[in-house]
Amino acid sequence: MKYIIYNLDGKILRHGNCQTIMFERQAHGENEFVVEGEADDAVDKIEIEEFDDKGKPKKVKLKKKTSEEIEAERPPEIPEEDMSVMLSKKEYQSILDRLEALENPV
């Protein structure tokens, strides 16, 4: 059974498949709710249309996010000069050797 876990803001927290008997157990965090369906959290959201008398979502609808909502959730870009790089010891030593050769020409 396909499920979508969401919060009161309509944000999709996770989604996946489970056995029918495990469906209700998928929403285990505080203020997490489960609905049957398939979603892509990058472009979809849940719209809560109606609440029950206990304040829990009773009727929900899967909707597409606007381009503004998608853009607002995009992580900030890291400037290239702030990006890290992985070097092996051999590569690092090669860079040090070349720097030394530039500083002390023969």
pLDDT, tens digit (0-9, with 9 covering 90-100), for 37-94:
999 999 999 999 999 998 899 999 999 999 999 999 998 998 988 888 899 999 999 9
| Structural domain that includes position 40 | 2-73
Find where tokens 């790089």 sit.
85
Does the residue 36 lie in any domain? yes
CB-count burial class (<10 Å; 0-12, 13-18, 19+) for 18: middle
**pLDDT score recorded for residue 29:** 83
Report, as an integer, the average pLDDT of 11-15.
96
Largest CA distance in the chain: 84
Does the residue 82 lie in any domain? no
Q: Is 42 helix (H, G, I), strand (E, B) or coil?
A: coil
pTM exceeds 0.85, yes or no: no
Does the residue 100 lie in any domain? no
Does the residue 103 lie in any domain? no
Number of folded domains that form the chain: 1
